[in-house]
Structure 1
Amino acid sequence: MKRLIYTLLGLFIFSISNAQELETLVNEALNNNPEIQKFELQYSIASEKVNEVNTIPNTEFGVGYFVSEPETRTGAQRFKLSAKQMIPWFGSITSRENYVNALADAKFEDIVIAKRKLMASVSQSYYNLYANKAKQEVLQENIKLLETYETLALTAVEVGKASAVDVLRLQMRQNEMKQLKDVLHQQFLAEQTKFNKLLNRKSDVAVVVVDNLMLPSEDFEMSTNNLELHPELLKYDKLYQSIEHSELLNQKESSPMIGFGLDYINIEPRPDMNFSDNGKDIVMPMVTLSIPIFNKKYKSQTKQNVLAQQELKTQKQERLNILETLLSKAINDRISARISFETQTKNLKQAKDAEDILIKSYETGTIDFNDVLDIQELQLKFQMNQIESIKSYYVQSTIVNYLIQ
């Protein structure tokens, strides 16, 4: 299990300058998350049930006292002691153990699935925090840029090359950006709370994310054939095997049960007679055989097991179809994110070129602050889209990793 976790961590966390930090956070989540602990406890309970079924039926003891003492040739019967032990058919206890172990194996897959989902959730929340922080930094840069433009506009107003309206427009645009930055800050706090709760720690613990996140030069290799080995699908195989063991147990329980017993009857000696067996107690060993003559119950259980196996096959195929759809969507969305990132990078370069042209125009006294606002708005849009593309790429990568690694 540890080897699997470290392998998945290496695949979830890539092309990040401080990957060790995220790996540490994921490990903390795996160790502290209550949902993981819940599934581990459920698995421990299922495993412990092996000891519960590794038993034989209770030994029966009986005591009887004759209120009206029946007379026998050797004397009157006073009281009776009896003991009986039923023993299941050969192999029944082993079949029970195999069945319970099969159920425990299926429960173990819940742990693997939960850990995969938790690793994906922690990584995705981390990328959301990164994107939020990056957007706030972009907004702060644009606010400073607008402050520079405002200074230029004030100078232009003084020399009659711009109007006060231009200054007000720049100030209103700054106010909008500050408002958006404040909103993003509140969203960051909400996402930070979500992240901390995944790690089962206090909500206000500060989360430090990477300063810069870039796309890898090329996508990592992957094999879609691994999807069939996904724990969500393996769980159906384990449940199928548990039904096979359930049927073997059903066959064993439909077999006879053998019982061994012993009866002891105390005899009171006859006072008016003298012979060798006078007052001799009765000891009677017994062997019993319990045969399920009316075995409709077991035949019905066999039919139920066959139907349950058929149901599991259809459920597995249905889940496989869903996972294949999710994988295809994640792969294509990741490709789309790379395409969008490259497009936004080109657009951003052209927007900066346009910005440089406007600044040079100011030197000749022909600056148009409406154009300034338009270019600044486009530049901000491209920067935001670029950050969103990076986040989308890594979020989709976590989905791909969850499905095929």
Structure 2
Amino acid sequence: MKTNNTHIYIVTILFVGLGFFSNAFAQEQTNDSLSHYIKVAIENNPGVKSQSLAHEAFLEKIPQAGAFQDPELSLEAYTMPMDIVGGRSFGNVSLMQMFPWFGTRKAARIEATHMANMQDQQYQEAVNNLILQVSTQWYTMQKLNEQLHNNEENKKILDQLEQLALRKFSAPSNTAQPNATPTVTSKVSSSPSRSTASSGMGGMNMGSSSTSAPATTPSMNMSSGAGMGGMSGGSGSGMSEVLRIQLEIAEIENNIESLYSQIKAEKAKFNALLNREATEEVVLGKEIQKVGFLYSEKEALATIEQNNPMLGMISEEGLAFKAKAEMDRKMSYPMIGIGVEYMVVGKTNNMMLAMEGMNGKDMIMPMVSVSLPLFRKKYNAQQKESELWRKSSEENFKNTFNILKSEYYSFKSQLDDAERVVQLYDKQTTLAQTTYNLIVKEFITGKSDLTNVIQVQRQLLDYQLKKAEAIANYNTMVVSIKKLLADNK
């Protein structure tokens, strides 16, 4: 029974631990993802907030556009009562409400709604621009971070190469006993630093198979010793190799410091987009990766026409002008006013003006008024103006769509070029890594000199840096096209 309880306790602890680590991993994945920072930027960026508030302000125009005109209240008071038939008038109170022609208020609300929708499309455009800026900045930082990692890895390789050169420099010369060379070779092969170099140089196999040949004869030892730079060239030659490697290390260390400085500056720009402090920590992914792009040309152009906010703004503007033309037409019709007038009447002593049963009684008079839109040129010009604006927006839509299509084709061409460049540098990096592994083996065995090793090492680093930059350019082109498509996924 006790054993079963112990098992249950252990299983419970394991589940709790797994849950904790999975939550921690999920939190880490959330915090260092581009989507997380985009969400933070949309919530905090002042420019986006400004456009959002502007959209809310335009929404408040809708009830204003559909409201009636304010009623007119007029008061009249006489300093001396005026004798009228049926009494003496002390003053009048009148109230009048004007009503536009049927459908005018509806057309005004439709116009205001389209203007608000136009502002909403402008807000969406601001969001898309912000997403493009955040994504571009993110990929720039990832590129620099990848280049920093490549430089640090190459510094480790050069450190290991320096150790090999130092071992060659400190090894016995070829004038030593014949059986000394295999001993040195075996020592280099089995030393801990050599093992570290083998594991750190991309999986290079520098084991005993290439250095522990059964060559115990003097001739074999002499040829092996003669091929090693530090053995045949004396101490000066061996020391020059060490110094050359140290020069390469110094250059890479300078590159690393420069990259740290650039990353710090780019993080400050990134935090500015998120409306955060410049020193706020930004967690980058471990390695830059190509993002997916699955749109065909037909799908992309259709999506641009349907979803692009700039085209949406122009469409809403055209619909607003159409509604305004309808409202102008309705306003060219008469407006009807309905009101009431209340007359305060006192009694009169003049029997000629007094009427039996009416003397001193207040009077209520219903009123109706009609506006007369006689000046037709003004109303006709208003309707023609709105119609011309609507046609202008239609042509503007076509022109903007053509511009967006040309931008798409330009970005797509750059995207295809970037993809080819990524594939090229990926292939060159693989070949350079293989070449480097082989030439280091040849350097150890004396078949190649240090110049070739450093040259290939430089090529390898150059291809790695260019590959990271090509991936960043590719991803930037993808988000640029997605911005045209209003694809925020």
**What interval of TM-score do these two structures reach, taking the shorter chain for normalisation?**
0.7 to 0.9
Q: Aligned partner of 1:108: which letter?
A: D
Q: Does 1:135 align with 2:147?
A: yes
Q: Does 1:300 align with 2:381?
A: yes
Equivalences for residues 1-400 of structure 1 within 5 A? 21-156=33-168, 159=230, 160=234, 162=237, 164-215=239-290, 220-222=294-296, 223-224=299-300, 225-229=302-306, 230-273=308-351, 275-276=355-356, 277-365=358-446, 367-400=448-481
Shift, 1:140, TM fit: 0.8
Q: Aligned partner of 2:275: which letter?
A: N
The more displaced of 276-285 and 88-97 is 276-285
C-alpha change, 1:311 and 1:187, in structure 2 (3 Å) is: farther
C-alpha change, 1:288 and 1:183, in structure 2 (3 Å) is: same
Q: Aligned partner of 2:259: which letter?
A: L
Shift, 1:62, TM fit: 1.6
Shift, 1:135, TM fit: 0.3
Q: Aligned partner of 1:265: which letter?
A: M
Shift, 1:157, TM fit: 5.0
CA distance in 2, matches of 1:353, 1:271: 125
Shift, 1:319, TM fit: 1.9
Superposed CA offset, 1:33-69 (max 9, x none): 3333332222222222222223212121222222354
Aligned to 2:339, what secondary structure does the other structure show? strand
Q: Aligned partner of 2:253: which letter?
A: K
Q: Quick check: 2:121–2:309 contact (8 Å CA) kept in 1?
A: yes
Aligned to 2:336, what secondary structure does the other structure show? strand
Shift, 1:203, TM fit: 2.7
- Structure 1 moving runs of 4+ over 6 Å: none
RMSD: 2.7
Specify the alignment match of 1:8 in structure 2.
Answer: none
Aligned to 2:246, what secondary structure does the other structure show? helix
Shift, 1:82, TM fit: 1.8
Q: Quick check: 2:146–2:288 contact (8 Å CA) kept in 1?
A: no
Shift, 1:18, TM fit: 5.2
Q: Aligned partner of 1:80: which letter?
A: N
CA distance in 2, matches of 1:58, 1:364: 100
Aligned to 1:220, what secondary structure does the other structure show? coil
Q: Aligned partner of 1:109: which letter?
A: Q
CA distance in 2, matches of 1:129, 1:339: 22
Superposed CA offset, 1:80-137 (max 9, x none): 2222121111122112111111212222222333333333333332222211111001
The more displaced of 334-343 and 306-315 is 306-315
CA distance in 2, matches of 1:55, 1:363: 90
Length-normalised TM-score, structure 1: 0.86
C-alpha change, 1:215 and 1:309, in structure 2 (3 Å) is: same
CA distance in 1, matches of 2:450, 2:444: 14
Specify the alignment match of 1:11 in structure 2.
Answer: none
CA distance in 2, matches of 1:364, 1:62: 111
Shift, 1:364, TM fit: 4.1
C-alpha change, 1:133 and 1:167, in structure 2 (3 Å) is: same
**Tell me, which stretches of 5 or more residues in structure 1 are unaligned?**
1-16
Aligned to 2:141, what secondary structure does the other structure show? helix
Aligned to 1:263, what secondary structure does the other structure show? strand
CA distance in 1, matches of 2:93, 2:478: 73
The more displaced of 27-36 and 129-138 is 27-36
Aligned to 2:344, what secondary structure does the other structure show? strand
CA distance in 1, matches of 2:270, 2:56: 28
Aligned to 1:312, what secondary structure does the other structure show? helix
Aligned to 1:67, what secondary structure does the other structure show? strand
CA distance in 1, matches of 2:293, 2:61: 46
Specify the alignment match of 1:7 in structure 2.
Answer: none
Length-normalised TM-score, structure 2: 0.72
CA distance in 2, matches of 1:376, 1:288: 94
CA distance in 2, matches of 1:328, 1:249: 41
CA distance in 1, matches of 2:144, 2:355: 105
Q: Aligned partner of 2:461: which letter?
A: L
Structure 1 or 2, whichever has the larger Rg, is: 2
Shift, 1:272, TM fit: 4.7
Shift, 1:308, TM fit: 1.6
